[in-house]
A and B are shown apart, each in its own frame.
Chain A
Amino acid sequence: GEDVEQSLFLSVREGDSSVINCTYTDSSSTYLYWYKQEPGAGLQLLTYIFSNMDMKQDQRLTVLLNKKDKHLSLRIADTQTGDSAIYFCAETLTNTGNQFYFGTGTSLTVIP
């Protein structure tokens, strides 16, 4: 099956930028998503990008997609303590459009 990989942990200082990375193996991805999970809660959709786009910006969030390298990143500008959470990338594929393939999640810790 599809393999979606993320680093497990990331620590940044408050006010710095955070970059969370994700790699995937199947080149037939159609959409790629970023979700945020706060402690004790479900997943909240942050943003998503169509696979023929290179970049999408939404306020403090910038998504970059390198389709050749099968690499997706989420940059959070001016990171705040409220950004501390687990971040999941996910993708859908051309032939299984209803099914999401999730990464293992990156736990972001923001140090005051």
Chain B
Amino acid sequence: DVKVTQSSRYLVKRTGEKVFLECVQDMDHENMFWYRQDPGLGLRLIYFSYDVKMKEKGDIPEGYSVSREKKERFSLILESASTNQTSMYLCASSEGGSNQPQHFGDGTRLSIL
């Protein structure tokens, strides 16, 4: 079974802080993704990566950056957290190639005060 682990289930931070969300997968998947989920808006793609040190912007990259130094780990960074970044953040991974099903972690509910 694919295991995607997000380091925190709940996180509370203050406006202006630098925030790191970590995601690790154990299936040697090439592709990794970060989404945010907000009520009524579904999932919106922030960034994805198809290889180590590679990254691509998704639909809403503003205010975020990512890091993929190792194949199994994909980090999402909020450079200077703002209240409109309060959300559920979901990490996913998939095998290389097209159309591979994505496997999700349990999510991190982030609150910015």
Contact = CB atoms under 8 A, between A and B. Distances in A.
A88 interface: yes
Interface residues of A, number: 24
Contacts of A62: none
A43 interface: yes
A108 to B, nearest CB: 15
A47 B103 CA distance: 12
Interface residues of B, number: 28
A92 B43 contact: no
A84 to B, nearest CB: 17
Interface in B87-113: 90, 92, 94, 97-107
Contacts of B48: 98-99
Interface string A17-43: 000000000000011010100001111
Nearest to A6: B42
B42 A30 contact: no
B98 A41 contact: no
A91 B24 CA distance: 24
Interface in A66-95: 88, 92
Contacts of B105: 42
Interface string B44-73: 010010100000001100000000000000
Contact of B104 (A31, A42, A97): A42
A41 B107 contact: yes
A97 B104 CA distance: 18
Identify the interface centre among B41, B58, B98, B104: most chain A CB within 10 Å of its CB: B98
A4 B97 CA distance: 23
B106 A104 contact: no
Given A30-B98, A31-B99, A33-B101, A43 B90 contact: yes
Interface of B: 4, 9, 31, 33, 35, 40-43, 45, 48, 50, 58-59, 90, 92, 94, 97-107
Interface of A: 1, 4, 8, 30-31, 33, 35, 40-45, 48, 88, 92, 97-100, 102-105
